[in-house]
């Protein structure tokens, strides 16, 4: 007997889209789902379109730019004192960059200057989550991270002016300096993405010494497309290394808008493909940045592996001082100026009564005083002697004994971490 098939009404096939013109298939039982934590209290929705007319290229913005600014999301971890400390670092970061801009205009800077204007919360609050034993690999815009990690504004200004007493003794201008002896800071690497495997290697080194540490570095929305970003993060993921990667989505990679650089909606989605947690934060909210960084660092120190944190914000200056950022539509600047990370945090601290107006004025005056003293010292300090130019390039075997910073491996880890470390050691032989 042939059973009659029941007539099934066919549902019309709907082709919705994810807002970027890509079709989204209807859910099916085999469809998997993934979670990306999103800390933001507001989700800007606008898009940037390229307009070409002959040889002329410009960008137009559309979407809702009138949304009110969201409040700061109170931190689960930071207390009053810590919030004020972060606020102070952000102020110093901003004021130091303003001083550097003036020094550049006075012809005192050798080379260019790169600014992190609008990104101070991301730099300062992320680095604030590191412990002494952890490591940092800053990029050019993370001058705030350097301050938090123990470099002074004087060091950074002397570096930009190539002074004899600067961290590289005048041998490199701009940001290529670190401190692997005391502050656990790897120098920025200009080749975008290269810091990621280097920092993964630092975590691996510590692992082989029996410790799980957090290693933090940054990559831009443009730089994250490089092959080495994939290789480094994938390596950290499979080895469960404590890498905390901030993807600084500041909407521009040089003069290319983010939507012409990648097709995903959020760069945090990339984490799914590495098999690691992905988190989105508002990069202009210091509390969100800190909370996500703190959780990622704790995860790293437990030996559970890397985390990718996408910080959404806007680069409020050009790529460097020579770039006037003419390509950025003006309303975009206005939108993000209302979300200035320092003004937002200041308002939050005042409204919580964690700072009175008087205390705030004193704090700002203190930062200015410190900055001015550092700037005057940096300006007055000498340039290097020409004879010293070739010094410090090659190590003369008698100049200093090179001692390994760490001793032999002391594996005192959980069984799973020991197994990973042993496997790694075998592979490295």
Ligand X SMILES: Cc1ncc(C[n+]2csc(CCOP(=O)(O)OP(=O)(O)O)c2C)c(N)n1
**Binding flag, residue 344, ligand X (CB under 6 A):** no
Provide, rounded to whole angstroms, the least separation between the CB of residue 315 and ligand X.
5
Establish if 220 lies at the interface with Mg ion (CB under 5 A).
Answer: yes
Q: Does 329 contact ligand X by CB under 6 A? A: no
3-class secondary-structure state, position 84: helix
The two structure tokens encoding residue 58: 């410009």
Q: What are phi and psi of 246, to 5 degrees?
A: -90, 120
| Residue 312 is a binding residue for ligand X (CB under 6 A) | no
Distance of closest approach, residue 40 Cβ to ligand X, in angstroms? 19
- Please pick, from the candidates 152, 226, 259, 424, the single residue that binds ligand X as defined by CB under 6 A: 226
Q: Which stretch binds Mg ion (CB under 5 A): 57-65, 215-223, 363-371, 391-399?
A: 215-223
Nearer to Mg ion, 299 or 319 (CB): 319
Binding mask 111-150 for ligand X (x = CB under 6 A): ------------------------------x---------
Pick from Mg ion, ligand X, none: which does 226 bind, CB < 5 to 8 A by kind? ligand X
Residues 160, 113: contact at Cβ < 8 Å? yes
- The nearer residue to ligand X, 174 or 250, going by C-beta atoms, is 250
Looking only at the bridges linking them, the beta strands covering 23-24 and 16-17 are antiparallel
Near ligand X by CB under 6 A: residue from 31, 35, 191, 357: 191
Q: Does 221 interact with Mg ion (rule: CB under 5 A)? A: yes
Q: Which residues, 6 or more positions from 332, have their beta carbon under 8 angstroms from its beta carbon?
A: 46, 48, 61, 65, 251, 314
Q: Binding to Mg ion by residue 253, rule CB under 5 A?
A: yes
- Report how far residue 49's alpha carbon sits from residue 287's, in angstroms, rounded to the nearest whole number: 32
Position 193 contacts Mg ion (CB under 5 A): no
60: closest CA among 70, 52, 68? Answer: 52
Q: Give CA–CA dist 32/107, Å, rounded.
A: 58
Which of the stretches 143-151, 175-183, 184-192, 300-308 binds ligand X when contact is defined by CB under 6 A?
Answer: 184-192
Q: Which of 211, 187, 181 is nearest to 199 (CA)?
A: 187
Classify each residue of 266-299 as buried b or exposed e, where b means 16 or more C-beta atoms within 10 Å of its C-beta.
bbbbbbbebebbbbbbbbbbbbbbbbbbbbbbeb
319 in contact with ligand X (CB under 6 A) = yes
The owner of tokens 């097709």 is 263
Residue 254 interacts with ligand X (CB under 6 A)? Answer: yes
357 contact, one of ligand X, Mg ion, none, CB 5-8 Å limit per kind: none
Among residues 141 and 163, whose Cβ is nearest to ligand X?
141
Show the tokens assigned to 371.
């900055």
Residue 168 contact partner, candidates Mg ion, ligand X, none, CB within 5 to 8 A by sort of partner: none
Phi-psi region at 203: left, alpha or beta (left = phi > 0; alpha = psi -120 to 50): alpha
Interface contacts to ligand X, rule CB under 6 A:
141, 190-192, 220-223, 226, 248, 250, 252-254, 315, 319
């Amino acid at each position: 007997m042939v059973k009659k098939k029941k007539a099934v009404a066919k549902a019309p096939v709907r082709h919705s889209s994810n807002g970027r013109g890509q079709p989204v298939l209807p859910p099916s039982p085999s469809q998997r789902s993934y979670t990306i934590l999103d800390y933001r209290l507001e989700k800007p929705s606008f898009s940037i379109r390229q307009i070409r007319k002959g040889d002329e290229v410009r960008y137009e913005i559309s979407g809702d730019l009138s949304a009110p600014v969201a409040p700061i999301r109170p931190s689960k971890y930071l207390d009053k004192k810590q919030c004020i400390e972060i606020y102070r670092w952000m102020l110093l970061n901003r004021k130091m960059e303003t001083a550097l801009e003036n020094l550049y205009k006075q012809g005192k800077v050798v080379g260019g200057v790169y600014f992190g204007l609008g990104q101070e919360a991301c730099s300062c609050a992320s680095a604030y989550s590191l412990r002494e034993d952890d490591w940092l690999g800053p990029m050019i815009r993370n001058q705030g991270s350097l301050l938090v990690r123990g470099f002074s504004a004087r060091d950074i200004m002397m570096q930009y002016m190539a002074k004899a007493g600067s961290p590289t003794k005048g041998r490199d201008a701009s940001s290529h300096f670190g401190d692997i002896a005391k502050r656990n800071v790897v120098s920025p690497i200009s080749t975008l993405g290269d810091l990621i495997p280097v920092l993964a290697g630092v975590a691996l080194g510590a692992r082989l010494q029996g410790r799980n540490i957090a290693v933090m570095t940054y990559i831009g929305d443009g730089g994250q497309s490089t092959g080495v970003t994939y290789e480094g993060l994938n390596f950290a993921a499979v080895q469960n290394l404590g890498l905390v990667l901030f993807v600084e989505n500041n909407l521009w990679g040089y003069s290319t808008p983010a939507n012409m650089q990648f097709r995903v909606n959020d760069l945090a989605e990339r984490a799914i493909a590495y098999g690691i947690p992905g988190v989105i934060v508002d990069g202009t909210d210091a509390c969100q940045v800190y909370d996500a960084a703190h959780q990622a660092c704790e995860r790293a120190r437990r030996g559970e592996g890397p985390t990718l944190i996408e910080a959404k914000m806007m680069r409020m200056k050009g790529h460097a001082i020579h770039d006037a950022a003419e390509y950025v539509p003006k309303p975009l600047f206005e939108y993000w100026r209302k979300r200035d990370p320092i003004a937002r945090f200041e308002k939050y601290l005042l409204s919580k009564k964690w700072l009175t107006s008087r205390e705030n004025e004193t704090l700002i005056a203190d930062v200015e005083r410190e900055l001015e003293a550092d700037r005057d010292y940096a300006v007055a300090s000498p340039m290097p002697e020409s004879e010293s130019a070739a010094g410090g390039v090659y190590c003369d075997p008698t100049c200093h004994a090179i001692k390994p910073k760490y001793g032999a491996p002391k594996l005192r880890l959980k069984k799973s971490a020991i197994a990973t470390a042993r496997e790694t050691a075998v592979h490295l032989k």
